[in-house]
Structure 1
Amino acid sequence: MMNRLTRLAAVASAVTALALSGCSSSDSGSAATNDKGFPDTITLAAVPAENSADMRASYDPLIKLLEKETGSTIEFVQASDYAGVVEGMIADNVDLAFFGPFAYVVAGINGAEITPLGAVIEEEGAEPGYQSYGLARGDNAAVNGLADFAGKNVCFVDPGSTSGFLYPTAGLIEAGVIESGSEADISAAMTPIYAGGHDASALSIKNRDCDAGFAFDSMVDETMVQKGDLAPGDLKTVWKSEMIAGSVFAANDSLGAEAVDALRKIFTEKANGKVMAAEGFCEGDACLITDERAWGVVPVDDSAYNGVRKVCEVTGSEKCKA
C-alpha cells in the first residue's frame, strides 16, 4: 500500500506510476468510510491555469467547504499536466478533479469512469463557458488573424488544453494554416511552443518569445490586467473561438453513486462565493475558487461537452484518441 506522500508524488509527477499503482483513497478494499459516507481522505487534483508556486491557496475556500461538508481530509494535488490527472482518475488515485473541457472529454475517451459535478462560472448568475483568444503583440502589424500565424513562433498552452490547444487547432484548420491537428502538420506550418500556462503563453507573446499564441479570455481580459502583468495595448486579440463549455469538476465513480450524488449537491449548492463567505472560509475578493478565479459552480450535463467532441473530430487530434 502506498503511503500518503508516495501517492501524492505519483499523481503529481509520474503518469506511469499512476497507471500501474492501482491504489487510492477510494479503493473499496482499503479505504475507511466516515459517518457521512465519504472516504476518510479525498484526493482533489488540478492543473495550473497560470504559473503559481502556491496554486493550493486559490483552492483553500473550496477545500475548507468540502472538508466541512464531507467530514473528509482533502488532499490537494497540483499535477504537472492534464495527462497526469487523467491517468490518476483511471488508476483510482484521484477522487475529484478540476478539468478543462478537453481534458474531461479525453478522460472519458481513455476509460476514466467519471461524473461531472458542475461547471464553474465567473460571477453569480452567469452561464458557464468561455472563449479561446488568438493573440499577438499590440504593435505587431504582421499578425492580424490566424492566417498570419503561418511560419511564426506560436505559443500554445498544453497539448491537453481546451482553449490553449484544441480549439486553436480547429481554428487554424479552418483558416487553412494546417491540414489536421497532428503534431507533424502543426510543426510543418509553424514553430509550436508549449508555455505550460495561459498566463505564460500571453507573457511570452508580450515579451517577444512568441510572435503569436493562445490563451483563454478572462486570463487576458481580467486576471493578468488586475495583477499588473498586462496593460492595455500590450496584446491584441486577432481571433476568438466559439463559446466553449465551462471547466468542470468531476468525481471518480469509484466513490460510489451516493457519494457522487452528495458531492454534486455540495458543489452546485454551496461551492460559491456567497456561501463560502457566510461560512467564514473567505472574505470579499478572496471568495473565489480555482486559479481561474471562478465565483462558483452550477449544474452541468455531460452533453454540454459534445461541442468539444465535435472539435476533436474536426481536428483529428491524437490527443482525443484512446
Structure 2
Amino acid sequence: MKIRLRRHAMTLAAVLTGLALVASGCSDSKSHSLNAQGFPETLTLAAVPAENSADLKASYAPVIKLLEQETGSKVQFKQASDYAGVVEGIIAGNVDLAFFGPFAYVVAGINGAKITPLGAVVQAAGGSPGYKSYGLTKSDNASINGLKDFAGKKVCFVDPSSTSGFLYPTAGLISAGVIKSGSEADISAGVTPIYAGAHDASALSIASGTCDAGFAFDTMVDKTMIDKGDLKPGQLKTVWKSETIAGSVFAANNALGTDTVEKLKTLLTTKLNAANLKSSGICADECRITDERAWGVVPATDADYNGVRKVCEITGSKKCKG
C-alpha cells in the first residue's frame, strides 16, 4: 500500500480539491429548487478518507442510497484530500453535507462554516459515540513503553487536522513532558514528526520501522487493518490511550434551512444504521457506513465537542484558532 508522507495540512492537492469544491455548482444551496419531498433536487456530500482509499465513495454507498431513497434528491459525492477543501466548499455553499472527525468539525466552525451536527457514528447497536487515540510502536520495541519514550524519536502523526492522529496525541506528549506546546517548532524540538496522511499509513509506517512510534485511532488498529490483512495481531503494541474522544459526525450546511436540517437529522439518527439498511434492502451484508465502518448514527449536539475545544486550549494549536 502506498504511504503518503505530508508535513503540512494544506498540500497542493488539498488546494486544488478545495478550489474544485468551491467552484462546483452554480448556485448556493439555499437557491436550489425543492423536489416533491421538500428537499433540494441535489445534495452534495463531502468527506475525507481516514485511510488511504482509491474509492472512498464505495464506503459511503449505503449512506448515499438511503439519502436518495428517503429525500428524492440526487446525491453527489465529493472526496476531498483535506478538510480545508470541505470547509471552503461549505462556506461557498457548494457542500451541503459533510462527514467530519471531531477536530475537523470544531475547526470548521472556527473557520466560519455555519453547520449543524446531524448525528455521530457508533460502532454497535446501543453503543455510545466516541473512540480513542492510540500511541503505538512495534511489539518488539522494548525501548518504548509510554509517551515519555517518544522523546527524540521519529513519530508518525496522521495530519495536523486529525483529532486522534494529531490533536489528542499532542496533548498527551505535552502532559508527558516531551513537548511544550502544539506549535510546529515545539513538536519538532521534542520529536521528529512525520505526517503519514492517513491512520492506516501511520500504523504501517510504525510497523515497517519508518517511524519509531506514532498514533492512529483504536478501531483502525484493533479491527480494520487486521480484518484486511494489513496488520497481524500483536504486530504493534499500544503504549498509550487517550481519553474517549467525541465521535465523528455528519453535519449539515445551515444554508439548507432549519426545516431541511431537522428532517435530515431525524432521517440519519433513525434510519442510517445497519439494521434498517439491511431490512430496507439497501445492503445485504454487514451494512457498515463510512470508511470508519460504523454501525450507524445516533444524536449528537455541538456541546458534545467541548472536550475537543478543551484539548485545543491545552495544545495551543494554531489550527484551533482559525
SS in 1 for 2:75: strand
1:295 pairs with 2:305: no
1:144 pairs with 2:160: no
SS in 2 for 1:28: helix
Q: Contact (CA 8 Å) 1:38, 1:70: kept in 2 or not?
A: yes
Q: Contact (CA 8 Å) 2:157, 2:193: kept in 1 or not?
A: yes
Amino acid paired to 2:303? S
Shift of 1:187: 1.2
- Counterparts in 2 of 1:253 and 1:24: CA distance versus 1, 3 Å: farther
Q: How does 1:27-46 map to 2 (within 5 A)?
A: 27-29=29-31, 31-46=32-47
Deviations 1:61-83 (A, max 9, x none): 11000001111111111110121
Structure 2: 5+ residue stretches without partners: 1-11
- Counterparts in 2 of 1:20 and 1:99: CA distance versus 1, 3 Å: closer
Give the CA RMSD over aligned residues: 1.8
Structure 1, 244-253 or 276-285: larger mean CA deviation: 276-285
Deviations 1:116-137 (A, max 9, x none): 0000000111110000000000
Shift of 1:22: 9.0
Q: How does 1:70-81 map to 2 (within 5 A)?
A: 70-81=71-82
Shift of 1:111: 1.1
Work out the CA distance in 2 between the residues paired with 1:263 and 1:28.
15
Deviations 1:117-170 (A, max 9, x none): 000000111110000000000011111111111111111111100000000000
1:14 pairs with 2:16: yes
Q: How does 1:241-252 map to 2 (within 5 A)?
A: 241-252=242-253
- Structure 1 residue ranges, 4+ long, deviating more than 2 angstroms after superposition: 10-29
Work out the CA distance in 1 between the residues paired with 2:276 and 2:13.
30
Work out the CA distance in 1 between the residues paired with 2:79 and 2:15.
9
Q: Contact (CA 8 Å) 1:25, 1:39: kept in 2 or not?
A: no
Structure 1: 5+ residue stretches without partners: 1-9
For normalisation by structure 1, the TM-score amounts to 0.93
Amino acid paired to 1:321? K
Q: Contact (CA 8 Å) 1:15, 1:87: kept in 2 or not?
A: no
- Counterparts in 2 of 1:229 and 1:21: CA distance versus 1, 3 Å: closer
Show the counterpart of 2:5.
none
Q: How many residues align?
A: 311
Q: Contact (CA 8 Å) 2:30, 2:257: kept in 1 or not?
A: no
For normalisation by structure 2, the TM-score amounts to 0.93
Show the counterpart of 2:312.
312
Work out the CA distance in 2 between the residues paired with 1:43 and 1:157.
26
Deviations 1:181-203 (A, max 9, x none): 00111111111111111111001
